[in-house]
A and B are shown apart, each in its own frame.
Chain A
Amino acid sequence: MVVAPGNWVVLNLGPRYLGGGEVISLNLGTDWNDTPVEPVVRGLRNDAGLRWGRTRATRASVLVGWGASALLSAQAVPGWGSAAAVERQASLSWGLTPLLKSSSTLHWQIAAGVRPTSMLLPWTSLPTAQTQIGIQWYSSLPGLRAASRFAWSSGRASHHSVGVTWSASPDARHASWAAPWRALRQGRRAATLPWGSAKPLPWIVSPPKPDPDPDPEPVFPPGNLVALSLGCALISTPGLAPLNLGATACYLARPQQRTYVVINSISVVRIPDRAPIEVEGVSILSSVDAWGISFDLDLADSTQLALLKPTAAGPRQVEVTLNGYVWTAIIETYRKQREWNRVGVSLTGRSRTALLAAPYAPARVKATTEDRSVAQLVAEELADTGFTADYGTVDWLVPAGAWFYDGTPAMDAIARLAGASGAVVQSDPASQQLHVRARYPASPWDWRGTQPDHVLQEDIITSESLQVRSAPLYDAVIVTGELAGKGVTCKVRRQGEAGQLFAPQASDPLINTSAAGAERGRNILSDRGEQAAIDLVIPLFGAPLVPGQIGRVQPLDLVEVVGEAGTWHGLCTAVRTEARADSKALVIEQTITLERHYTDAN
């Protein structure tokens, strides 16, 4: 049994309750243990009626509550004005929508305010926005302010959290994108640089390069001898005084001309009677490796072959003149070729110095008994031959008995005399003269400071070819005499170098003095390093020459080539002069072979 608290009294009608407390045991005349017979008593219904009365009392209290609400509605009437009560209820529910809209505008205002401030203080500005929203709600809806305020405050918090992510993410994106774009620009810069350097190239080629040599200092004569040096040929124009001053008027005197005009002429005559010979073509070859000059002629009139056949006086001699330059030769062979109605005759010959060698000259025997210089020995070889010698290299005294030979013609003896000091023998093209000159008149390492024999402008080169010919970079050589008491052993060393890489030894009975040995060693050491044999085809300008033109080039001439890429020097080692006459024109070209030294020169 459960004991109810308060004013409730429990009546125990059986069985007997022994628990005590607030339970009153009430025996109604029956045993405690008997099951009570429940009487049918109608009075209990009255008790039920009392319970219904309580219910009414509860309803009455509810009526009192409604009375209080009427008072509240009376207070609300002045606030909402003249509108109906039902309509206000409906308008209140709808009124939330404009409030939402107004709150949304506030979002924008706050969001706009948060963005600039969030860059500086993003988290401190968030609570301030929430309090402003709460104030707006208090003024618009007093009845629903408590619940709606909490909801909106939480909504604002979510909106603000979104705003913070926006403020953070665009910045992060901008930062992350800026870095790769900078890297790309750097790559473009690296690609732009080679293009920048390649652009000036065509502009370098276009303008004509000025003469690298500085203008010579003007030499002013004394006051009483003032003269006008115009420096170029006078050009007379009607109405203008022939004073060629300035670069424009001196155009023809410039080294680099726009056009080069060469008028070719060819003339072949038989000497000594100067009978004219008609030729179609002439080829003349001279080289430092040979003392003679070889000729090839093609006759235009085959009947003139009779003029050139040998006689009892020996081979015929001819004189070839190309653009004013003279060569002389002896005709040694001819070949006639018949082709249909045309007979072609080609002849070959050599320079007249061939008369000093076999088979024309006799082999002789000689042994000196007195001291002689080399130049004297050369002159002795040419005595009574009609030829003279131009000895143009180192001369020294040959002791008596040191110069001897047997079975040697004059030319071979002269070649031996010249070869002792590293010189070569060259035939004069026109006159009966021999030139004895060093194989390297100037050492390659001195070429840059040597006055060249010819200055060749690159403009007039019509063809160019190159063949590499290199040698070890020797810097010492042993040159020795062969006769006891009449020679020396020279250890020739290139100045300023180690002197450890020796060229092959050279010996000659005529190395009698150190001067001879040094000159022989100089010519040996000159042929070293990186070299090239460059063939240049150039026209043959006739005299008088103006600057920019070049005349006949001969072997051992030092040529300075002025080109776009710079100036370089080369020693002429071979020249082939060719003249071809056909129905159209007469072309004369000379192909010069220049020995260029890259290591010792330029």
Chain B
Amino acid sequence: MRTDLWDQFDGLVGPSPRLLATVTAHNADGTSSLVTYDGAQMRAIGILGSTIPYNVWVRDGRVVEAAPNLPIVEVGV
């Protein structure tokens, strides 16, 4: 019962995914230009200041923290 209630509530809120992206430029307005692994160009508020390019976590339009640079594997299902 309580688990169902939580699942229903969680479904209403909706996910807030944490995106892995690569910083390609630091902008003067305090944003970072990013590109995700699926090729999308985006911007997020916040500059971490590492050497470009570097990976960051983005949540809700803000650069949260630095992300590791992991090996990329392409698989088919």
Footprint of B on A, CB under 8 Å? 285, 287, 289-292, 294, 332, 348, 350, 357, 443, 476, 478, 480-485, 487-495, 502, 504-507, 514, 517-518, 521-522, 525
Contact B68 A482 (CB under 8 A): yes
- Top 4 A-B residue pairs of the complex, sorted by shortest distance between their CB atoms: A484-B68, A502-B38, A522-B77, A495-B76
Measured CB to CB, the nearest residue on chain A to B20 is A480
**In the complex, which residues of chain A have a beta carbon less than 8 angstroms from the beta carbon of B1?**
294, 332, 348, 350
Q: A104 to nearest B CB, angstroms?
A: 104
Kindly list chain A residues whose C-beta atoms are within 8 Å of the C-beta of B73: 488-491, 514, 517
Is B15 a contact of A290 with CB atoms below 8 Å? Answer: no
* B48 CB–A CB distance under 8 Å: no
Whether A518 contacts B77 by the Cβ 8 Å rule is yes
- Cβ of B12 < 8 Å from any Cβ of A? no
Residues of the B chain whose Cβ atoms lie less than 8 Å from the Cβ of A476:
38
In the complex, chain B residues 41-77 whose Cβ is within 8 Å of any chain A Cβ:
67-77
Whether A491 contacts B74 by the Cβ 8 Å rule is yes
- Contacts A492-B75, A518-B77 supplied; 11 other A-B pairs, CB < 8 Å: A287-B4, A289-B7, A291-B3, A350-B2, A350-B3, A490-B73, A491-B72, A507-B17, A514-B73, A514-B75, A521-B77
Size bracket of the B interface? 20 to 34
- Whether the Cβ atoms of A505 and B77 lie closer than 8 Å is no
Q: How many angstroms from the CA of A504 to the CA of B36 in the assembled complex?
A: 11
29 A/B residue pairs, CB under 8 Å, sorted by A: A287-B4, A287-B7, A294-B4, A350-B1, A350-B3, A357-B3, A480-B70, A481-B68, A484-B69, A484-B70, A485-B68, A488-B70, A489-B71, A489-B72, A489-B73, A490-B75, A491-B38, A491-B75, A492-B77, A494-B77, A495-B76, A504-B15, A505-B36, A505-B38, A507-B17, A507-B20, A514-B73, A514-B75, A525-B77
Report the separation of the CA atoms of residues A495 and B75 in the bound assembly, to the nearest whole angstrom: 9
Would A506 and B17 be within 8 Å (CB), given that A290-B7, A487-B70, A489-B70 are in contact? Answer: yes
Q: Are the CB atoms of B68 and A505 closer together than 8 Å?
A: no
Are B75 and A290 within 8 A (Cβ)? no
> Across the interface, which residues of B come within 8 angstroms of A483, CB to CB?
68
